[in-house]
Amino acid sequence: MSPAPARAVAFAYHNVGARCLRVLLAHGIDVPLVVTHADDPAEALWFERVSDVADDLGIAWIAPPDANDPRVVARIAALAPDFLFSFYYRRMLGAPLLAAARRGALNMHGSLLPKYRGRAPVNWAVLMGERETGATLHDMAAKPDAGGIVDQQRVPILPDDTAKDVFDKVTVAAEIVLDRALPGVLDGTAVRRPNDLAAGSYFGGRTPEDGRVDWSWPARRVHDLVRAVAPPFPGAFCDLPGGRLAVLRTRVLEAAPPNAPAAPGVFVSDGRAYARCGDGTCVAILSAAHAGASADAFAVAALATRAR
């Protein structure tokens, strides 16, 4: 008689959660319950709902306000899971929850740990001008993203990639690393390597106000901010005399366009919108919006010169 399959409860959200849940099932893992989040009405829902995936697969799911609620912990402990897996779940799992797993609790994080521990790792990596990031499968510990590293998968960040572009790559990386690591996790042969926190970095969450552009910054820093918060994230913006301009896509230029002003700021030249940055370099504003509508160069020019 073949041994019973390993049993796991999955805490999952977002595209990474949806893809990694499917990987667990592909490896024959029994998943009696998925814990996910209720949708936030204030957040643009551009990603796959884990609850929909669970419904399609016939798996029970819950979306409690607090996964560490003793009633939730008791329900999960009663399932006697061998493992807990967290795939882009947005809350830390406390010690009582972690103790419910008989063989281990593992998390998938969207960076190359120990770099970019914490919140919004993909956005931060793009903002900081990194040329690569990835996905890391690691043991869960009391500190966030601090447990031993099981496996990682790297992906490139190209100079004009947006955070959405990179997040799509990281989603695939997470699927690859979980598929590769699961056999060793299940048979107990997976080797952990230390997660050296002193060699890494930690970043907190971001708010829409963090998208404010300061044109006195160097052009590359401006471009990295625009890429890091481009839609479907809240977007970069600046306040002009005629109102707020959402700066959605930019490109760093090698040479300034004709009639570019010397001072930092937004301007229009030959029917196209640009901005001079603090290092003297200009960026082309390839896509912009005002009051929820697309803003062409004429609209940008009006905002840049018109008093409110």
Beta bridge partner(s), residue 273: 268
Q: How many CA atoms lie within 13 A of 169 on its CB side?
A: 20
Q: Exposed, middle or buried, 256 (CB in 10 Å: 0-12/13-18/19+)?
A: middle
The domain made up of 7-203 has a fold known as Rossmann fold (3.40.50)
> What is residue 307's predicted lDDT score, i.e. its pLDDT?
47
Domain range annotation of the chain: 7-203, 208-305
> pTM of this prediction?
0.94
**Per-residue model confidence as pLDDT tens digits over 203-221:** 998 989 999 999 999 999 9
Ramachandran bin of 136, using left for φ above 0, alpha for ψ from -120 to 50, beta for the remaining angles:
beta
Q: Name the stretches of the chain with pLDDT < 70.
A: 1-2, 306-308
Dig out the tokens for 95 from the structure: 């010690």
CB-CB contact of 109 with 173 (8 Å): no
pLDDT of 200:
87
User: What pLDDT is attached to residue 40?
Assistant: 86
pLDDT confidence of residue 308: 41
Both tokens assigned to 43: 């957040």
Q: Class assignment of domain 208-305?
A: alpha beta
The rounded Cα 116 to chain-centroid distance in angstroms is 11
Place of tokens 């399609």: 56
Q: What is the pLDDT of residue 144?
A: 86
Contact 35, 62 (CB under 8 A): yes
* Alpha carbon separation from 123 to 39, 69, 222, 229, 242 (Å, rounded): 20, 30, 14, 7, 29
pLDDT of residue 199: 87
